[in-house]
């Protein structure tokens, strides 16, 4: 059974005059992203493929996530993840081509799309906060993913010891 892990990027900074796509992680976001990786190592195990938005905050989240996780998946910058709608995200997931039927795929993305994807696939309310992680068990093939074709294994928000609320 395939596993889909949806991760909302960690807390970003908002420097004046910087375009949205160029926003870096805040100090707390950097720590929380590493903690998210540690949590994934303990609760998910390995990863076959990781798709990340090209936004600076998602790329920084991905780098720190992998530092904490210790996983070495294939990492792909997926331009369609930036400002993705639910429809965009469903097309990305349905287009996944993985080597094994039980692959674990991670999407590092943005809200509101990330939360909408989890809700659409599981039929459960799931508001992902920054450094939020949703682990979904997918029934069937990636190409057949549709409404409520997955079950929510766990919803978790990673916070480093020094990290606070969003």
Check which CATH number belongs to the domain holding 129 and give it: 3.40.50.1240
Nearby residues of 16 by Cβ (< 8 Å), 6 or more positions away: none
In a domain, 137, yes or no: yes
Return the higher-pLDDT residue of 25 and 102: 25
CA distance 91 to 94: 5
- Whether 58 and 52 have beta carbons less than 8 Å apart is answered as yes
In a domain, 166, yes or no: no
pLDDT at 165: 52
Is the pLDDT at 19 greater than 90? The verdict is: yes
In a domain, 129, yes or no: yes
In a domain, 164, yes or no: no
In a domain, 140, yes or no: yes
- Whether 158 and 32 have beta carbons less than 8 Å apart is answered as yes
Instruction: Residue 70: give the domain boundaries.
Output: 3-13+24-157
CA distance 46 to 157: 19
In a domain, 68, yes or no: yes
Total tally of structural domains belonging to the chain: 1
pTM of the model: 0.94
In a domain, 130, yes or no: yes
pLDDT at 45: 92
Mean pLDDT, rounded, for 33-40? 98
In a domain, 162, yes or no: no
């Amino acid at each position: 059974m395939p596993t889909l892990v949806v991760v909302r990027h960690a807390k970003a900074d908002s420097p004046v005059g910087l375009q949205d796509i160029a926003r870096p992680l805040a100090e707390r976001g950097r720590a929380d992203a590493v903690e998210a990786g540690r949590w994934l190592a303990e609760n998910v195990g390995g990863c076959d493929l990781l798709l990340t938005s090209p936004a600076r905050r998602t790329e920084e989240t991905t780098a720190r996530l992998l530092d904490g996780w210790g996983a070495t998946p294939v990492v792909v910058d997926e331009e369609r993840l930036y400002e993705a709608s639910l429809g965009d995200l469903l097309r990305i997931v349905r287009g996944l081509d993985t080597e094994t039927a039980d692959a674990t795929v991670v999407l590092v993305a943005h809200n509101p799309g990330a939360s909408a994807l989890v809700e659409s696939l599981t039929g459960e309310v799931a508001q992902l906060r920054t450094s939020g992680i949703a682990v979904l068990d997918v029934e069937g093939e990636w190409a057949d993913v549709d409404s409520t074709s997955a079950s929510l294994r766990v919803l978790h928000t990673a916070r480093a010891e020094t990290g606070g609320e969003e």
